[in-house]
Amino acid sequence: MYSDEYYMARAISLARRGWYSTHPNPRVGCVIVKNNHIIADGWHQIAGQGHAEVNALAALKESNNIADAQGATAYVTLEPCSHHGKTPPCSQALVDAGIKKVVVAMEDPNPLVEGKGITFLRENDLQVKVGVLESEARLLNPGFIQRMENKRPKIRCKMGMSLDGRTAMANGESQWITSPEAREDVQRLRAESSAILTGIGTVLADNPSMTVRSEQYKNIHRQPDRVVLDSALKMPETAKMLSLQGQTHILADKKCQLSAVDKIKSLQESGADIHYLSSHELNGQTQLDLSEVLAIMAQQQYNDVLLEAGATLTGSMLQAGYVDELIIYMAPSLMGSDARGLFNLPGMTQMSDKIHLHIQDIRAVGKDFRITASVDKAWVPGS
């Protein structure tokens, strides 16, 4: 006889199949068990289509075995929904199918659910067990969970550097610091992301596409959106990203609404979606309110955002405490003391000012090393 953990592990494995395609929904898996045998399974594949529980029940219907659901147990990695969205409530579908027990890895942090699905199941006389492999289930949806609990997406900052911590030569030349294998790995990061965040400086310097182009990830069903911080609306109407699949959002200073009317119209005709934010002066430059930047991205239902930008924006996000994870590709080369540094972090003059990181993983990617680190949660911005 197998344990609840065994079947939940299977459900978690199924949920991972939707790793690149469920945005903005969470990744969820479901296994239906009867008499110690798995009789059906399913996972959420694409947002707007059937949820994991519905897909598992549909598999039983397709094989003309839906009656087998009577008295069965469903293992679900996330609490079944209890509200009408693009699809009907999964909790109701489980009740209607005759399921008698539901084992849930974790409660859904979405305020529309947040325990209501579990309550509904119990009110309809189903046994419910919660918390089986919860920590493993949380790893399926870190960005979704953060957006629901903290009202902002998870921010991953990707940087490429030389062994001496440089990202570009003094004249701005930066292609290519890292290996083709590292650049392919970045395609994976983009495919996992709801959006890519950058600054206008990067757009003007490189005219990037910021899309997923790898053959390995071309079937992700969607391109990540692009979000460009552009306080003075310097974005060219001919920028490459404006004509590509996926929406481009430009975040500008509120003052532009009156001072750049013609430019706004031109950018909108080129396909840009423009948002207006508060700003402040920092070191003689206008900087958009980063808390409003995060709020805009949460409103767009972004779960995981990949920060691909220069030293100024990445440094500002880091010092504000908004970077959750650093992914740094380190090439075995030296670029010299005149080359540009990794982060612009002004005001750090003493050892007590340093930002503490937790190294989570270091591994070889081609000839480079990929370093994955998180910011020490005990570190408080400005402390």
Secondary structure, 3-state, the chain: CCCHHHHHHHHHHHHHHHCCCCCCCCCCEEEEEECCEEEEEEECCCCCCCCHHHHHHHHHHHCCCHHHHCCCEEEECCCCCCCCCCCCCHHHHHHHHCCCEEEECCCCCCCCCCCHHHHHHHHCCCEEEECCCHHHHHCCCHHHHHHHHHCCCEEEEEEEEECCCEEECCCCCCCCCCCHHHHHHHHHHHHHCCEEEEEHHHHHHHCCCCCCCCHHHCCCCCCCEEEEECCCCCCCCCCHHHHCCCCEEEEEECCHHHHCHHHHHHHHHCCEEEEEECEEEECCEEEECHHHHHHHHHHCCCCEEEECCCHHHHHHHHHCCCCCEEEEEEECCCCCCCCEECCCCCCCCCHHHCCCEEEEEEEEECCEEEEEEEECCCCCCCC
308 is catalytic: no
Options 5, 53, 107, 134, the catalytic residue: 53
* 127 strand-pairing partners: 101
Nearest to 134 by CA among 105, 114, 102, 108: 105
Q: What is the spatial distance between Cα 175 and Cα 160, in angstroms, rounded to a whole number?
A: 10
Catalytic machinery residues: 53
